[in-house]
Structure 1
Amino acid sequence: MSTPFPSDETAKETPASVSKPIKSAENASLVDSSVALGFPEGGFTAWGTVLGACLIQFCGFGYTSAYGVFQDFYTQTYLTNSTPSAIAWIGSVNAFLVLSVGVVSGRMVDRGAFYPLMKIGCLLQCLFLFILSLAKPDGYYQIFLSQGVGFGIAIGLTNIPSIAIVSHHFQRCRAVAMGIVVAGSSLGAILHPVILNNLINRRLGFANGVRASATLNSGLLFIANLLMRTRIPPQLNAVSYTRILKNSSRDGAYICACVAMTAFEFGYFFEVFYLQLDSTLHGLSEGFSFYSLTILSFGSFIGRLTAGVVSAYVGIPNTVVGSLLISSAVIFAMIGLQSAVSVAVIAASYGLFSGNFIALMGPLVSYLTPENSHIGARMGIMFAISSVGSLLGAPICGAFLTSHYIWWKAAVFAGSVATGGCIALVFMQVILKMRQKASSVCSKEAGV
């Protein structure tokens, strides 16, 4: 999964008539964003901001992506009176809030509230993790409110702002810098499952294990806040989401892309939440099962790195269609999960192709958006809509799974929904071809 990239509005060049430098960030609200002189494209402050934002992603969305560890532990040990579907609601509400709250927090950054957002969001992340450690066995609502609701809102306050801030320091190298930041969430998804499995299941138990991970995150978030710096003043005339939403509702290709992204979220969180539990209940060794999510996340990390290279040869729309098609097929392959080899193949392949898809959703929105100033808003709208898939996917799959663990029903449902997303992307391709054909006809008539 991924987060929306900000608009390129802040990347506009400064008018030549502007010569007065900005003295401080505190007075930024009094100055129009056009007075920001150039982009550093490097330096200690710029790359320090990238490192800080990477740490925010590591502790935030990277931690959310490790919920499969908690799903396994809660189901078998800590919340035995709750069904897998009920337990999945904790993680799905968390993921939903991370994406949906980001629409609001991203807009607040445009208005100059970056520092308050980061301080409040990071403090709440630490607070709710420590509160989570106080939850008692079978205390479902204690865990739901702290980890699902509170922790989700806290991450949502920092998630998109940590990506948007990079645009203050880079223009030419913005894609590279943002790629490094987003890779922080993948790195977190690789390491957090290893850390949590060892702390909670092997060494310290639930309470002390969560406190240890909370202490680690607190230190990293503190360092991140010291490193990140704003540079460009707030936008005085923010883009109207209402107007863009009306225009987007008439864009068939964009609507198809939103449907596909929502369908993808259904299948994505089925794999992320249930893969470790599935491998454990199939009798695989505890040590190997604990690393199943790490294999998936490492595959996703590779997929995100290679997505740009693949799309350069076959095109962004074609790469997105192929990635979602193969990801859907891998979800169906969960029906045949039996051995360590099958877990490794499913985890690695799904991680690779889902990572391709996630990495290209931002560029796809850019491809579908005629006006550059609307890119950030359209991404925010898409990710807010797709968060419905992250909210409902895992719990509905858990309902199909039942307490008897009927894996084929859940896999067929998740795979079918993801396949529906592929069909939506095919319709998107058809619409784009029709537009190109109509455009070429108009061009020929104009030439005549």
Structure 2
Amino acid sequence: MADECELSTVHTTEGVALQEDKECSETLEVCHVSNNWDPPSSLHEFSEGGWAGWATAFGAFLVQFCAFGYITSFGVYQDFYTQHYLTNETSSAISWIGSTTAFLLMTVSLVSGLLHDRGYFYHLIIAGSFLHSLSLFMLSMSKPNHYYQIFLSQGLGLGIASGLVYIPTMAVISHHFRRRRTLVMTFVATGSPLGAIIHPIMLNNLLNGPLGFANGVRVSAGLISLFLLTACLCMRTRLDPPATPVNYIAVARKCIYDVPFMLLIAGTFLLQTGFYYPLFFFQLDSIKHGISVKFSFYSLVILNGSNCLGRFTSGFIASFTGVLNLTIVASISCGVLILGMIGLNNLASVIVLGMLYGYLSGLNVAMAPPLVATLTPDLSELGARMGICLFAAGFGGLIGAPISGALLTSNYTWWIPGLFSGTVSLAAAMMFIIMRYMFLKRQRVPGTLQDAVLEYILRRLIATRMIKEQTMQLLSIGFRYARRGGNLKRFAGCGFFVPLIDGLFNLV
């Protein structure tokens, strides 16, 4: 299923070169990440815009704004419930609401992706939008210290609704765009971080203002309902679903024997276990350390705004560092910064930690799709492998925040959950380091000295003379083939190595 490969996003669409590793990759593997299936259509059949195409993109943007953007704003609710609305509950119990929502978004997305592949796009969008609005209006009717009411409406209802609409709205972009898909997917993906910036500002002022909880949530629900209705009216499908959807069970069995990929799953699980601690507790941490309430309301805005910047710049940075290296560095940095939250005690530390963690966690989120693509030998399995990673990430997000809340206790002992979340994030980075070693060990087959000399001569010839475009393409294919075999003699044996050499010397 190709849909999940577009989740996070913006820098991992068709035509983007994914660099396996800067040290060992002189050539870039081009991976079609944004969709691993294209219906049998010619390029001119894609409108690349038009009313239907851009209206669909705008509708998908609104859904991302309302779904994932709202879920990542749960830190506002965590603070409000802890201090005012669910005072009889522990921080751990309250964080189960937000973690369940995030878990359901990722796991239900597997089902919605499969249903989308079978042509149920409109059913999913309408049902998900209706349930999303209903859940928020039911949340507004919840009574103080009635935990089950809030858990059912916000934890379960909102999570299922978001999971129903999340992947289909990303996948439908592939129906209208091919050449501009990178640009359009970037636009659609901005809905999530933009929502994570706007919703905290709005919710903090509504919940803590004169309207109070019930009316404040109703205002938020009304706005989201309007956006989702607009999205349903805007989005249109155009292509038939694929004839043979990917078999998840077969791919899962194959992945068991793929050691680097299993290490990726383990690292993803650990990383998500620590990932939500700052998102859920950063605002509460700021307030409890004596930072002004008015400024603390904007702590999540700082974090999510930096996260948005990290996503946008990740592709540029990865082109120099490589996907594997950037993922490792970002994971280590996130772990260190979470440990640094133990020392949060003034305004400057809130700003610095919020900006740095937001930016580096944005790099991590953006690197997930190209990282999976790098470890996927058969790109027809990319969507299924993305789904498997999402499932693992969902379980990490489900248990991470509640464990941190339990470690926090009612005495607000901040160093214990900070130590736990930071440690598991560093453990995730260790998994990624081992994964990188195993992956490169599998890819790297030593060649002979003659191969290295010949490759150097060919590179010098290419650098000093203009070669026809077709010859360049053949040479690129040949080197890629040779690298996989580890010996240029295999390339020579395939029948077109000698003609290439002759052609190069004739051009010189």
Q: TM-score range by the shorter chain?
A: over 0.9
Partner of 2:216: 209
Q: Is 2:54 the partner of 1:8? A: no
Deviation at residue 256 of structure 1 after TM alignment: 1.6
In the alignment, structure 1 segments of 5+ residues that lack a partner are: 16-35
Match for residue 116 of structure 1?
Answer: 123
Gapped runs of 5+ residues in structure 2?
1-5, 10-32, 449-484, 494-508
Q: Is the 8 A contact 2:67 2:192 kept in 1?
A: yes
1:274 to 273, 281, 292: 281
Task: Pick one of 440, 443, 447 that aligns with 2:486.
Answer: 443
User: Contact (CA 8 Å) 1:50, 1:166: kept in 2 or not?
Assistant: yes
Contact preservation (8 Å) 1:121, 1:157? yes
How do 1:26-425 and structure 2 match up within 5 A?
A: 38-425=45-432
- Is the partner of 1:8 in helix, strand or coil? coil
Equivalent-residue separation in structure 1 for 2:70 and 2:165 (angstroms): 13
Q: Aligned partner of 1:68: which letter?
A: G
How far apart in 2 are the matches of 1:207 and 1:141? 16
Question: Are the aligned partners of 2:39 and 2:239 in contact in 1 as well (CA < 8 Å)?
Answer: no
Matched-pair contact (CA < 8 Å) for 1:13–1:38:
no
Shift of 1:234: 1.5
| Contact 1:92/1:392, CA 8 A, preserved across alignment | yes
Following superposition, the deviation at residue 392 of structure 1 comes to 0.2
> Contact (CA 8 Å) 1:11, 1:171: kept in 2 or not?
no
For 2:39 and 2:446, how far apart are their aligned partners in 1? 29
The structural deviation recorded for 1:360 is 1.1
TM-superposed CA distance for 1:8, in Å, is 2.1
Amino acid of the structure 1 residue aligned with 2:295? F
The Cα of 1:4 is off from its aligned counterpart by 5.8
Q: Deviations over 1:82-136 (max 9, x none)?
A: 0000000000001000110000001111100000100000000000100000000
User: 1:131, 1:146 within 8 Å by CA — same for their partners in 2?
Assistant: yes
Q: Distance in 2 between matches of 1:440 and 1:356?
A: 35
Name the TM-score, length of structure 2 as normaliser. Answer: 0.82
Separation of aligned partners in 1, 2:447 and 2:379: 22
User: Who is 1:30 aligned against?
Assistant: none
Alpha-carbon distance change, 384 to 133 in structure 1, aligned in 2, over 3 angstroms: same
Moved more, 370-379 or 139-148: 370-379
Assess if the C-alpha contact under 8 Å between 2:37 and 2:380 holds in 1.
Answer: no
CA contact (8 A) 1:97 1:156 kept: yes
Q: Distance in 1 between matches of 2:297 and 2:338?
A: 20
Q: Is the 8 A contact 1:253 1:431 kept in 2?
A: yes
The Cα of 1:9 is off from its aligned counterpart by 3.7
| Matched residue count | 427
Question: Does structure 1 retain, via aligned residues, the 8 Å contact 2:372–2:385?
Answer: yes
Tell me how far apart the structure 2 counterparts of residues 411 and 173 of structure 1 sit (CA, whole Å).
42
Per-residue CA deviations over 1:375-422 (Å, capped at 9, x if unaligned) read 111111110111001100000001110111100000000000000100
Aligned with 2:209: secondary structure? Answer: helix
User: 8 Å contact 1:4–1:376 — kept in the other structure?
Assistant: no
Supply the distance in 1 between the matched residues of 2:446 and 2:208 (Cα, whole angstroms): 60
Measured in 1, the distance between the counterparts of 2:328 and 2:399 equals 23
- Pairwise CA RMSD: 1.7
Shift of residue 440 of structure 1?
5.3
Q: Is the 8 A contact 2:36 2:382 kept in 1?
A: no
Letter in 2 for 1:443: G
The normalised TM-score by structure 1 is 0.92
